[in-house]
Structure 1
Amino acid sequence: MTKPTITHRSGDATAPTGVGPRIIAHIVNDQGRWGRGFVLAVSRRWPQPEHCYRDWHRHRVTNDFALGAVQLVTVGDGLYVANMVAQHGIRRTGSSVIPIRYDALDRCLTRLGNYATSLDASIHMPRIGTGLAGGQWAVIEPLITHGLCRRGIPVTVYDLPPHR
């Protein structure tokens, strides 16, 4: 049996295509900050992921909030958003330090794969970790392939169409 590979599609990752359970995955930081990047598109569609993330961070001393953790939030019938903590802090203007933590992302993808397997869900995402987190797709894509595709989980990566 051939394992699925990543499907690349032009479109909006907050409007995933296909049938059956779908998980929209994205990266969040470990500082409780929500307000730039893909999270804005998520918040425009649903209030729950931001609310749950902020609450998760606020009560972090009594829960699993940390680099490598994943929070799965139900936003519709068979539709979920996965808040994956794989960014340490936020990128500062003029700083050469990038906030993505590849080891944390690898742990997140394993946990995400467990959720997807239990729900028989497909995974949908933008090019996670390459925007504000400062990561390199050449490093991130193999992590996705290893953590999800090799387990038979279908993954679709969405790129926004260019503005005209």
Structure 2
Amino acid sequence: MSEIAYVRGDAALPSGKGVKVIAHVCNDIGGWGKGFVLALSRHWPEPEAAYRAWHRDRAANDFGLGALQLVQVERYVWVANMIGQRGTKTGSKGVPVRYEAIDTALGRLADEALALGASVHMPRIGCGLAGGKWPRIEPLVMDRLIRRGISVTVYDHRD
């Protein structure tokens, strides 16, 4: 079984050939404006527009923890909006990250990546503003993606 490839760089500019899916974690309240999403929005308007419409029409769709939305931004590049955090602020219920929701979304992402023949590229999802810990998320990525033969690259941003 292969391993996760760790590289320095910007996950919003994935390297390599072939179809690529950029995966990231979104909140469940329709907020888009801080963290990794800003890098995505600098390159393409479609992921934010699709996420906001998905949230706005949530009464008629699957928007919620664990859901996945794939948005094509270039011929061979897709963005995976994964709902993996409850709200945006740390409070009496702890940090916003929801590991079980990320696990569910990664399972859905695996099915889509296999159908597309795509590799998956991401920052350390759920570990920024969501407050998650990579030692809890890395095994989910291994179980859901790597074990199914999907190539995964995790980008640590250059300072």
Band of TM-score, shorter chain: over 0.9
For residues 146 and 45 of structure 1, what CA distance do their matches in structure 2 show?
Answer: 30
User: In the TM superposition, what is the alpha-carbon distance from 1:70 to its structure 2 partner?
Assistant: 0.3
Give the whole-Å Cα distance in 1 for the aligned partners of 2:34 and 2:157.
16
Equivalent position of 1:119 in the other structure: 116
- TM-score normalised by length of structure 1: 0.94
Aligned length, in residue pairs? 159
Runs of 4+ in 1 over 3 A off after TM superposition: none
Q: What secondary structure sits across from 2:131 in the alignment?
A: coil
Write the mapping of 1:63-142 to structure 2, written as runs, cut at 5 A: 63-92=61-90, 97-142=94-139
Q: CA deviation at 1:91?
A: 1.5
Secondary structure of the residue aligned to 1:81 is strand
Q: Equivalents in 2 of 1:88, 1:39: separation in Å?
A: 16
Query: Where does structure 2 lack aligned partners over 5 or more consecutive residues?
Result: none
- What is the aligned counterpart of 1:57 among 55, 58, 74? 55
Tell me what 1:48 maps to: 46
Give the structure-2-normalised TM-score. 0.97
In percent, how many aligned pairs have the same letter?
A: 55
Separation in structure 1 between the aligned mates of residue 5 and residue 42 of structure 2, nearest angstrom: 25
Amino acid at match of 1:67: L
Q: Which runs of 5+ in 1 are unaligned?
A: none
Aligned-pair Cα RMSD in Å? 1.1
What SS does the aligned partner of 2:12 have?
A: coil
